[in-house]
């Protein structure tokens, strides 16, 4: 797509991040965006390299801080399509506080987390979503903690859109990210994106065999928060699809009249734009 840069990814062959990124690029194209109206903000980690591999405006943020940067970009220029990307370590450990607040602010942007349940770039330490008992270099006798459930964290924080996808299911992944982009507010997608080098438990085969696709569950209604809660807290199953969408979601900028008129900010006046952002933060 137009969104592919000429840089060759240095991800390990077979890494789930390839599929995750391809779906993001297709979803952006399918929703009528172009590289010059798109801004990708990435965190730190293997996933953090994505801004280099995509052809758009991009910023490689500080560890765990991609969301506040993305929020600032969107508020400073509401015309941009803002997509924030990161990993499970970046987003749910050091960035967990930012995640909760970005969710409840409901700024109109998309957050894609490449969840491989391990720290890949730093060579295989337990991450916030690693399973209990998972043996890694930092948990040689197995992790002693239950994993964070990012979907539950999002729901409890007042999320207006919660989805989960799988990097290897190209069509469904693209479709799910597309729905997150189209959502009016903060579109959160947790993507299972296997790390083939350091995680031999949460593999492609595991996700292929175990994920339940909500598109095949006739009586599932994503606008029903109670049903979403049950699915998200289901200890026996993991779901793929849109788990929850508040169809009455009103994004932050609209609630506070920020979309109103940016035309009084002269071109090349970043200080004025920053004042506006500060005023509302
Ligand atoms: Fe992907 Fe894991 Fe390699 Fe990182 S270490 S590029 S997450 S396979």
Residue nearest to atom 4 of ligand 1 (CA): 120
- Residue 126, judged by CB atoms within 10 A of its CB (0-12, 13-18, 19+), counts as buried
β partners of residue 111: 84, 188
- Residue 39: phi, psi to the nearest 5? -125, 120
- How far apart CA 110 and CA 38 sit, in angstroms, is 11
Helix, strand, or coil (residue 174): helix
pLDDT given for residue 279 in this prediction: 64
DSSP summary character for residue 11: S
Among candidates 92, 106, 109, 98, which has minimal Cα distance to 68? Answer: 98
Residue 240 sits at φ, ψ, to 5 deg, of -120, 140
Q: Which tokens in the block code for residue 139?
A: 């948990």
End-to-end Cα, the chain, rounded Å: 36
β-sheet bridge partners, residue 245: 161
Is the Cβ atom of 191 under 6 angstroms away from ligand 1?
no
Contacts 24+ apart (CB under 8 A), 7-15: 7/52, 7/53, 9/49, 9/53, 10/49, 11/46, 11/49, 12/195, 12/196, 12/197, 13/196, 14/196, 15/46, 15/120, 15/193, 15/194, 15/195, 15/196, 15/197
Angle between helices 16-30 and 170-182 (to 10 degrees): 50
- pLDDT 10s digit of each residue in the chain, 281 long? 699 999 999 999 999 999 999 999 999 999 999 999 999 999 999 999 999 999 999 998 889 999 999 999 999 999 999 999 999 999 999 999 999 999 999 999 999 999 999 999 999 999 999 999 999 999 999 999 999 999 999 999 999 999 999 999 999 999 999 999 999 999 999 999 999 999 999 999 999 999 999 999 999 999 999 999 999 999 999 999 999 999 999 999 888 887 645 555 556 556 666 666 666 55
198 lines ligand 1 (CB under 6 A): yes
Tell which one of 198, 200, 201, 204 to mutate to probe ligand 1, the residue whose CB is within 8 A of the most ligand atoms: 198
Domains annotated for the chain, with CATH where assigned, are: 16-260+267-275 (3.40.50.970)
Residue 69 in tokens: 């940067």
Confidence (pLDDT) at 1: 66
Q: Is 197 close to ligand 1, i.e. is its CB under 6 Å away?
A: yes
Nearest CA to ligand 1 atom 3: 12
What does the pLDDT read at residue 260?
47
- Decide whether any atom of ligand 1 lies within 6 Å of the 17 Cβ: yes
- Rounded to 5°, angle at Cα 5 from 120 and 166: 45
Give the ipTM of the model, two decimals please: 0.99
Token pair 């500080």: residue: 62
Residue of 136, 197, 204 best suited for mutating to test ligand 1, as the one with most atoms within 8 Å of CB: 197
């Amino acid at each position: 797509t137009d969104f592919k840069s000429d840089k060759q990814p240095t991800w390990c062959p077979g890494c789930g991040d390839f599929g995750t990124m391809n779906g993001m690029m297709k979803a952006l194209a399918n929703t009528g965006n172009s590289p010059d109206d798109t801004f990708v903000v990435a965190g730190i980690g293997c996933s953090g390299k994505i801004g280099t591999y995509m052809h758009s405006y991009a910023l490689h943020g500080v560890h765990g801080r991609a969301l506040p940067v993305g929020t600032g970009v969107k508020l400073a220029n509401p015309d941009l399509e803002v997509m924030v990307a990161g990993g499970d370590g970046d987003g749910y450990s050091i960035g967990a506080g930012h995640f909760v607040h970005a969710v409840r602010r409901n700024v109109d942007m998309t957050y894609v987390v490449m969840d491989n349940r391990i720290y890949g770039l730093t060579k295989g330490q337990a991450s916030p979503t690693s399973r209990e008992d998972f043996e890694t270099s930092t948990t040689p006798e197995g992790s002693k903690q239950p994993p964070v459930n990012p979907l539950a964290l999002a729901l409890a924080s007042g999320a207006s859109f919660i989805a989960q996808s799988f990097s290897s299911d190209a069509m469904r992944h693209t479709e799910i990210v597309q729905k997150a982009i189209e959502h009016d507010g903060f579109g959160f997608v947790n993507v299972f994106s296997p790390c083939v080098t350091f995680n031999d438990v949460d593999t492609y085969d595991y996700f292929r065999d175990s994920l339940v696709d909500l598109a095949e569950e006739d009586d599932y209604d994503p606008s029903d928060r109670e049903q979403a809660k049950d699915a998200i807290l289901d200890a026996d199953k993991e779901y793929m699809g849109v788990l929850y969408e508040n169809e009455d979601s009103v994004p932050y900028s609209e609630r506070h009249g920020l979309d109103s008129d940016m035309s009084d900010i002269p071109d090349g006046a970043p200080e004025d734009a920053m004042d506006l952002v500060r005023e509302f933060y």
